[in-house]
């Protein structure tokens, strides 16, 4: 390979574009490198060092056979600064779900860009889109769509059972907020299963922070007799802030919902006992319900909670 062309490929982490290559060396050097099997065209105008292409799956598209990082770099080189990774690819970059082998690379570009799908690349043309803030941010070195937009975009692409997880985790990690998700939803009135996502965002806005809390909110801890619980209520004790799952402020009762794996370790149980004792010094009664009991006996849990609240009022 021509030394100038090789230097360009090395600087590009194994990639180069036709435009940059012809600036560094004559066009015939690129053609010769391709004929010799040293460079491979992975997308129109984008070339890849052949040594980076696995020999397995030789019949599939080159873009589907290389490492995800290379596929994303090639995609962005193809868009020539006009695109940003989106949907499931952006969700992977945001660290909320890893793309399995075989899924497409998704990219957003403006209307009129002239860029087209090239399996496994899926190009979405968006009106008014620009690959710059505030629509796009840089994450891990890649331009990606904002997290709130990414989560909404991915909602119909995931199996229903997998849809809530990334949304809940993003809010819990404070990477986004329910308010931002509501704004993103407003721009997509025809989203598939939009009502379910809107309900989930409403539950997160109310303070629910896990699938168990959401289920409890919907089936047990709302309705006649139940107070307006303060979710994730902060209580400051001796320089330490403790967050309460569901706090009935008037009755001074904290309802804690223990997940399916909670207290498998005796050390974790000891931590909770110490925490509950600290809250008792402030007159707060901690009531704990296990994952199994909440799901198996929701009516009994509801009646017991109402009885405890009533006794505290008296």
Per-residue pLDDT for 217 more than 90? Answer: no
Residues 206-215 have pLDDT tens digits of 888 888 888 8
Query: What local confidence, expressed as pLDDT, does residue 101 receive?
Result: 86
Residue 253 three-state SS? strand
CATH of 211-313, one of 3.40.960.10, 3.40.228.10, 3.90.950.20, 3.40.50.300: 3.40.960.10
Region 118-138 average pLDDT: 96
CA gap 208, 231 in Å, rounded: 7
Residue 180 sits at φ, ψ, to 5 deg, of -65, -35
Q: What's the token pair of residue 7? A: 């230097």
% of the chain residues with pLDDT over 90: 82
Q: Locate the domains of the chain by residue range.
A: 3-52, 68-203, 211-313
- Tokens 């050390």 correspond to 267
Per-residue pLDDT for 37 more than 60? Answer: yes
- Max distance between CA atoms of the chain, in angstroms, equals 90
- Answer whether CATH 1.10.3470 is correct for domain 3-52: no
Residues 66-91 have pLDDT tens digits of 999 999 999 999 999 999 999 999 99
């Amino acid at each position: 390979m021509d030394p100038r062309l090789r230097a360009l490929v090395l600087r590009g982490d194994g990639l180069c574009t036709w435009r940059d290559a012809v600036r560094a060396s004559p066009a015939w050097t690129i053609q010769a490198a391709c004929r010799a099997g040293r460079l491979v065209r992975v997308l129109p105008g984008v070339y890849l060092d052949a040594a980076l292409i696995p020999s397995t799956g030789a019949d599939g598209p080159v873009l589907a056979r290389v490492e995800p990082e290379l596929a994303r770099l090639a995609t962005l080189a193809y868009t020539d600064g006009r695109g940003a990774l989106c949907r499931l690819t952006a969700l992977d970059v945001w660290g909320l779900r890893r793309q399995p082998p075989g899924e497409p690379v998704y990219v957003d570009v403006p209307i009129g860009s002239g860029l087209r799908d090239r399996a496994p690349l899926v190009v979405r043309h968006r009106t008014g889109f620009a690959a710059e803030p505030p629509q796009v941010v840089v994450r891990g070195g890649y331009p990606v769509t904002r997290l709130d937009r990414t989560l909404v975009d991915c909602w119909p692409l995931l199996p229903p059972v997998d849809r809530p997880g990334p949304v809940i985790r993003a809010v819990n990690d404070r990477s986004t907020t329910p308010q931002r998700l509501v704004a993103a939803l407003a721009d997509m009135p025809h989203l598939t299963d939009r009502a379910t996502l809107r309900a989930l965002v409403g539950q997160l806005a109310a303070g629910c922070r896990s699938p168990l809390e959401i289920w409890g909110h919907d089936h047990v801890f709302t309705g006649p007799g139940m107070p307006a619980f303060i979710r994730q209520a902060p209580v400051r004790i001796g320089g330490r802030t403790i967050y309460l799952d569901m706090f009935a402020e008037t009755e001074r009762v904290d309802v804690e919902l223990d997940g399916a794996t909670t207290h498998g370790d005796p050390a974790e149980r000891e931590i909770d006992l110490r925490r509950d004792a600290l809250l008792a010094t402030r007159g707060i009664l901690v009531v704990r319900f296990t994952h199994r009991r909440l799901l198996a006996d929701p009516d009994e849990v509801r009646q017991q909670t109402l009885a405890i609240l009533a006794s505290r009022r008296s």
